[in-house]
Amino acid sequence: MNLSDVKDAFPILKQLENGQPLVYLDSGATAQTPVSVIDTIARYYREENANVHRGVYGLSERATDAYEGARSKVRRFLNAASDKEIIFVRGTTEAINLVAQTWGRRHLKAGDEVVITEMEHHSNIVPWQLLREELGIKLVVVPMTDDGEIRLADFEACLTSKTQLVSVVHMSNALGTINPVADMVQAAKKVGAKVLLDGAQAVPHMSVDVRALDCDFYAFSGHKLYGPTGIGVLYGKEALLDAMPPYQAGGDMIYSVTFDKTEYNVLPYKFEAGTPNISGAIGLGAAIDFVESIGLDTIAAYEHELLTYATRQLQTIDGLRIIGTAPNKGGVISFIVEGTHPHDMATLMDQDGIALRASHHCAMPVMQHFDVPATLRASFGVYNTHEDIDRLVAAVEEARTMLV
């Protein structure tokens, strides 16, 4: 697919918002869905809908093939070693909670240390706080610089012989910073710690190879990758997943059940209790086809160019301050405009058809670091254009003039 045609693949972007053509700049919250994904989900319900792994009739076998086919696509997409390492979950949040509640509860004890960073999304903070309350583990937070960067030396200084797990974001949703995760994994291995990477923002914007990274767990959400909501992935190394107790219990995650004893199913089914999100997984498979038809490297280069252009243009606005100025960033610009509240700015910009977020972005410690209640955040997807950026800049100027 040619990049100039990409926008046409997204029906929702043809809509008017408040009488203006929609400029969607909130892909960090959720990306829009291309017609190929929408059609795949519709076709599933029209032609293949049945429960998986249960029926011997043709329809159920076709649904099972499609569901397991999506798993294989995810495996290839992440370059995992085996389909057994791909667990379908609701999203990044559930993936991290799964690791905390199964691996964490089994392996961590009072005094053990879990290392996170100051730029984590709440979904990579609160699950560990729950474990801290329950088990008495210690949560160690790597500080970030005023550019919104994690320095490798600061990270290494937080690693000790008590570090059992490092759980860090690959790309920050609040700042756009891309962390040096390959080096972080290597450093963590030296103290014998396991590593979980939160790939919610990274996966739509760059190619990810879990074997090259050598991380133990990798989590992402389908809806940020142009797929449907309610589906996501936990990658885990097979030996680790095998040794973990199940997360939830019910149908499909068992091999045999008596009232005295239950034997669990093999991977990956051990972690997929109950009827899974079948259409979601198949939709996610179609989303992977979509990004691969363009190429993750092409997407990364295009979005980098948009980011550079948008940064330059926004910096021309009086009183505008960009929050998060790390040299290695993905397509996210967080900013504030002196003398205005982000919510007022976003409300006015909505009148111009510009959809961008004003919030703490589920990363309140980041807001605390920069001493702001919230920021405006423009986050890009593959469908955004230079014209979108020009409209964003004009709308920021106009809203600022009205408020200041």
Minimum distance, C-beta of residue 398 to ligand PMP, in the bound complex (Å): 28
Minimum distance, C-beta of residue 125 to ligand PMP, in the bound complex (Å): 10
- Of positions 40, 93, 265, 334, contacts ligand PMP by CB under 6 A: 93
Taking CB under 6 A as the rule, does residue 200 contact ligand PMP?
yes
Which one of the spans 70-78, 88-96, 153-161, 268-276 is the region binding ligand PMP (CB under 6 A)?
A: 88-96
- Of positions 7, 71, 121, 194, contacts ligand PMP by CB under 6 A: 121
Which one of the spans 86-94, 148-156, 188-196, 336-344 is the region binding ligand PMP (CB under 6 A)?
A: 86-94
Q: How many residues bind ligand PMP (CB under 6 A)?
A: 12
Minimum distance, C-beta of residue 307 to ligand PMP, in the bound complex (Å): 17
Which residues, 358 to 397, sit near ligand PMP by CB under 6 A?
Answer: 362
d(CA 236, CA 313): 41
Sequence-distant (6+) residues with CB within 8 A of 184 are 150, 152, 155, 166, 168, 195
d(CA 86, CA 236): 7
Which one of the spans 87-95, 127-135, 147-155, 351-359 is the region binding ligand PMP (CB under 6 A)?
A: 87-95
- As given in the structure block, the two tokens for residue 222 are 């389908």
Taking CB under 6 A as the rule, does residue 169 contact ligand PMP?
yes
Nearer to ligand PMP by C-beta: 23 or 171? 171
Which residues, 245 to 284, sit near ligand PMP by CB under 6 A?
Answer: none
Residues 205-224: x/- map of binding to ligand PMP (CB under 6 A)?
A: ----------------x---
**Tokens 């046409």, residue located:** 8
d(CA 255, CA 219): 26
- Of positions 48, 149, 198, 303, contacts ligand PMP by CB under 6 A: 198
Nearer to ligand PMP by C-beta: 40 or 359? 359
Residue 298's CB is within 10 A of a number of other CB atoms, namely 13
CA 29 from centroid of its chain's CA atoms: 9
Minimum distance, C-beta of residue 201 to ligand PMP, in the bound complex (Å): 5
Q: Contact, 86 vs 75, CB < 8 A?
A: yes
**Tokens 């020009």, residue located:** 390
- Of positions 123, 163, 164, 379, contacts ligand PMP by CB under 6 A: 123
- Of positions 92, 102, 277, 384, contacts ligand PMP by CB under 6 A: 92
Taking CB under 6 A as the rule, does residue 201 contact ligand PMP?
yes
Q: Could you confirm whether 362 is annotated as catalytic?
A: yes
Q: What are phi and psi of 129, to 5 degrees?
A: -65, -35
d(CA 122, CA 379): 19
Minimum distance, C-beta of residue 200 to ligand PMP, in the bound complex (Å): 3
Taking CB under 6 A as the rule, does residue 329 contact ligand PMP?
no
Minimum distance, C-beta of residue 126 to ligand PMP, in the bound complex (Å): 11
Which one of the spans 16-24, 54-62, 194-202, 203-211 is the region binding ligand PMP (CB under 6 A)?
A: 194-202
Minimum distance, C-beta of residue 39 to ligand PMP, in the bound complex (Å): 23
Given 139, 191, 362, 372, the catalytic residue:
362
Q: Contact, 49 vs 64, CB < 8 A?
A: no
Active site positions, annotated: 362
Which residues lie near ligand PMP (CB under 6 A)? 91-93, 121, 123, 169, 173, 198, 200-201, 221, 362
